[in-house]
Chain A
Amino acid sequence: MTENATIRDPVALTPGLVRGIGATARTPHWQPGLALDCFHAELFAPARDASGAGMALALARDALRIQKSTQGPDRRPFLWVQDKAALRLSGRPYLPGLPADLRHRLIHVAATTPEDALFSLEEGLRCRDLAFVIGELGGNPRALDFTASRRLSLAAEKHGVPLWLVRLDARRDLGAARMRWDVASAPSSRPRWNEHAPGRPTWRADLFRAHTFHPGQWTLRDDDAFLVAEPATSAPDHGDLVHGSGDRSLAAG
């Protein structure tokens, strides 16, 4: 079947993937500006703030920047799909508040049900004229099971359109995403001119599962021109010494 032939072998897909003895030590650590070759990332975020969507946009812009340096400027639109729960919990994208280079490229889809949202996401991933797709789903809808997640993953990898799926107030259920992040807001750095004002968007990002990278925690700051990552400052939570079986790199075997 020709259709299957075009789906890339997931093992050959990832240049950073290391296998064999000592894989743990040789697996790279994530940092901004690194070519991910990851087309499906999931970000778990609280619904009380816009940290999930903000970091998804920041990561997408970071990925676009790498692409731009190799392919020239990108004018393609991007798709932002929200289901009803996400719309209610965290509001709609607001044009004047979006990054200036993405502002006029937004196409917004307001789906009523999670099923419609998943359909829109998949249609968006199949479209060659889209730069990337952002999805926002509230909670753990029954429609988004492992099969649906895998479908999205395959569509994204087949057509090369990255998907950043934001899960608002969701449990970490089964998913086929190559990178799974946990996002929360973090206190921002102090601006230069007014010390008492909020500064640049800052997030506490926890990469708890990744296909080709070591898990890790960072404090990410969107500096408009690029994404800045600092190692997480707060001492890691040593409450349970043994990691859960899900919280390790796939690369570790």
Chain B
Amino acid sequence: MAIWCTDLAIDRWRLAEGLTPEKAARGEGADAAPLALIEDTAHGPRIAAANSAARAAGAMPAMRLADARTLCPALAVRPADAAGDLAFLESLALWAQRWGPWSALDPPDGLLVDVTGVAHLFGGETALIGDAMHLLDKRGLAARAALAPTAGAAWALAHFGAQAAILPPEADPRTHLADLPVAALRLDADVILLLRRLGLKRLGQIQGLTRENLARRFRNTRSAAANPLLRLDQLFGLRPEPLLPVVGVSAPLVQRRLMEPIRHRTLLDQVVADLAADMARLLEGLGQGARRLELGMWKVDGEVLVRRLEMAAASRDPAHVCRLFAARLDDLDAGFGIELVRLRAPWTEPLLLAQADLEAAAESHGTSLAACMDRLTVRLGPDAVRRPVAHASHLPERAQRWQPPLADPPSSQEELRFHHRPMKLLDKPESIAVIYETPDGLPRQFQWRGQLHKVARAEGPERIAPEWWRERSTVRLRDYYRIEDETGRRYWIYRHGVIGDGRGGAPEWFIQGLFA
């Protein structure tokens, strides 16, 4: 069954204005005046949807607002809400599962419901479609519906057939649907235009052509919307058409309404502890663990405070959750008091029941790694707790990247064994003054942070060229030296460029690493 909400955006506006079907019929009250929903485009505001009065006055969708204003100066405008329409359509798709086991979205304003073998539950196909039309009308939605053996045929009938049309399975779809326009094939606008220029206006005309000719003309087999042959096959059920069903997943939610608004931290901590325990029970029943938690606190004066939390591994341990939230509640302003506290888990992952540690000494065994990382991240921020991973680059500072502590490390090639790399790298190479054998000999002594180091032993150079595929052509190469000074301090220094490389003056020296 295909359902097409002909005026979804306008109907949503009507419902938002309180113009329910019981109070005002279509075209009465505020709806009697011409009104358009507009969206902002690069060429100024454009009409996304218009009500019947506006359409009668000449303001059509996809028209510029300025053009429509000249036709209908009394046109009132409201901003369109495409995201809200889609969200509404999603909830409508879930609601439409009352007529069949699953439903799919058909954006921007349609639904497809699989009603295979369920019509007898409603007393036949006519009764089923009648029920659908009645309920949609009761919700204040102008809609057209159609029943057909394939999704494509149902869509075509809903958009271009009679109201509440039914295509019985025994009927021949080729004769039944021959009179529909080619737009019933769900094609892109340019393909429809092309077909019209070819003189093909009805489905019957396309069916008359030989398959080979159509296949030669329309070669795009990846996108069904660009290929009339694919769409025809889908319409007649010769080719499968997978649809993505909508599945409703509700985020686990627990809440406490408080008799007296609370203003003190100790009381709030108690409420949070209770909520965490409730949430743990709820998640345990679902076999899930929370990755993200949202604590919403509704204040008496109507404001909502929200604190979010993300965990490194799925968990439902109430003590752990309380501890993490405790750090986040310090800067809370309760105002006149908090009257409702709600804990939601928008992101959960499967977490099976685990055997609790029955030993009495479990307490002293310490925390798990995930809990430890959570505590550190909550206090220090996600950028402070990281683990280094190797990256494919021969520039020393690019050869290591940082990622969250519990993420899987990417596969990497091992560093060459004969490369000696320092144990620590300075965040930014520091400039040093070096006395060395020009033009490219070993360093003799250098001055760093106000102290003179006499080089006792040195090895090098190890030449590392710039990555020419991502850097400018003027970047200089580096000659790295491993050195040890007279007191045994080992450093990694480099000369930036060589004399006469045509990329700047005398080369500078930098210290980049410290060996153990």
Q: Is the CB of A188 within 8 A of B488?
A: yes
Indicate if B180 sits at the interface (CB-CB under 8 A). no
Interface residues of B: mostly helix, strand, loop or mixed?
A: mixed
Residue from the list B375, B400, B423, B488 in contact with A187, Cβ < 8 A? B488
Contact A48-B372, Cβ < 8 Å, known A97-B423, A198-B515: no
Indicate if A245 sits at the interface (CB-CB under 8 A). no
Q: Is the CB of B513 within 8 A of A104?
A: no
Contact A128-B366, Cβ < 8 Å, known A50-B422, A107-B405, A194-B459: yes
Q: Is the CB of A95 within 8 A of B424?
A: no
Residues of chain B within 8 A (CB-CB) of A37 are: none
Contact A48-B489, Cβ < 8 Å, known A120-B376, A128-B368, A198-B483: yes
Q: Is the CB of A91 within 8 A of B516?
A: no
How many residues on the A side are at the interface (Cβ–Cβ under 8 A)?
58
Contact A124-B372, Cβ < 8 Å, known A53-B516, A91-B513: yes
Q: Which of B2-10, B41-49, B165-173, B377-385 contacts A (4 or more CB under 8 A)?
A: B377-385
Residues of chain A within 8 A (CB-CB) of B210 are: none
CA distance A202 to B457 in the complex (A): 14
Nearest chain-B residue to A76 (Cβ)? B369
Q: Which of A24-32, A109-117, A170-178 contacts B (4 or more CB under 8 A)?
A: A109-117
Q: Is the CB of A94 within 8 A of B423?
A: yes
Indicate if A98 sits at the interface (CB-CB under 8 A). yes
Q: Is the CB of A201 within 8 A of B372?
A: no
Contact A104-B409, Cβ < 8 Å, known A94-B513, A111-B384, A201-B516: yes
Shortest C-beta distance, B431 to chain A (Å), equals 15
Report B402-426 residues with CB < 8 Å from chain A CB: 402, 405, 409, 415, 419, 421-426
CA distance A95 to B410 in the complex (A): 14
Indicate if A216 sits at the interface (CB-CB under 8 A). no
Nearest chain-B residue to A5 (Cβ)? B364
Q: Is the CB of B380 within 8 A of A111?
A: yes
Q: Is the CB of B384 within 8 A of A198?
A: no
Contact A51-B380, Cβ < 8 Å, known A95-B388, A127-B367, A128-B368: no
Beta-carbon contacts of B347-384 to A below 8 Å, as 1s and 0s? 00000000000001101111111011101100110011
Q: Is the CB of B390 within 8 A of A51?
A: no
Q: Is the CB of B484 within 8 A of A54?
A: no
Shortest C-beta distance, B28 to chain A (Å), equals 64
Contact A96-B399, Cβ < 8 Å, known A49-B514, A108-B388, A198-B484: yes
Residues of chain A within 8 A (CB-CB) of B472 are: none
Contact A107-B361, Cβ < 8 Å, known A94-B421, A198-B482: no
Indicate if B458 sits at the interface (CB-CB under 8 A). yes
Q: Is the CB of A188 within 8 A of B484?
A: yes
Shortest C-beta distance, B35 to chain A (Å), equals 55
Contact A123-B375, Cβ < 8 Å, known A96-B399, A111-B384, A185-B490: yes
Q: Is the CB of A198 within 8 A of B490?
A: yes
Q: Is the CB of B399 within 8 A of A95?
A: yes
CA distance A202 to B388 in the complex (A): 26
Shortest C-beta distance, A202 to chain B (Å), equals 6
Contact A128-B367, Cβ < 8 Å, known A97-B513, A185-B487: yes
Report B451-471 residues with CB < 8 Å from chain A CB: 451, 456-459
CA distance A180 to B412 in the complex (A): 39
CA distance A50 to B516 in the complex (A): 5
Contact A196-B514, Cβ < 8 Å, known A108-B386, A202-B488: no
Nearest chain-B residue to A159 (Cβ)? B366
Contact A106-B515, Cβ < 8 Å, known A49-B490, A97-B422: no
Residue from the list B380, B386, B426 in contact with A120, Cβ < 8 A? B380
CA distance A123 to B451 in the complex (A): 38
Contact A126-B367, Cβ < 8 Å, known A188-B488, A198-B490: yes
Shortest C-beta distance, A215 to chain B (Å), equals 22
Indicate if B491 sits at the interface (CB-CB under 8 A). yes
CA distance A91 to B484 in the complex (A): 18
CA distance A111 to B376 in the complex (A): 10
CA distance A126 to B363 in the complex (A): 11
CA distance A50 to B487 in the complex (A): 13
Indicate if A140 sits at the interface (CB-CB under 8 A). no
Q: Is the CB of B514 within 8 A of A106?
A: no
Residues of chain A within 8 A (CB-CB) of B484 are: 187-188, 198
Nearest chain-B residue to A49 (Cβ)? B489
Residues of chain A within 8 A (CB-CB) of B425 are: 91-94, 97
Contact A109-B384, Cβ < 8 Å, known A120-B376, A130-B369, A198-B484: yes
Contact A95-B516, Cβ < 8 Å, known A126-B367, A196-B457: no
Binding site for B on A (CB under 8 A): 2-3, 6, 48-51, 53-55, 57-58, 77, 87-88, 90-98, 104, 106-112, 116, 119-120, 123-124, 126-130, 158-159, 161, 184-188, 194, 196-198, 201-202, 204, 222
User: Other CB < 8 Å A-B pairs besides A48-B489, A185-B487, 12 of them?
Assistant: A50-B423, A77-B369, A90-B424, A97-B515, A108-B402, A110-B383, A116-B379, A116-B384, A123-B375, A159-B366, A187-B456, A198-B459
Binding site for A on B (CB under 8 A): 360-361, 363-369, 371-373, 375-376, 379-380, 383-390, 396, 399-400, 402, 405, 409, 415, 419, 421-427, 448-449, 451, 456-459, 482-484, 486-491, 513-516
A-B contact pairs, 8 of them (CB 8 A): A49-B515, A54-B516, A77-B369, A104-B409, A108-B387, A108-B388, A197-B482, A202-B488
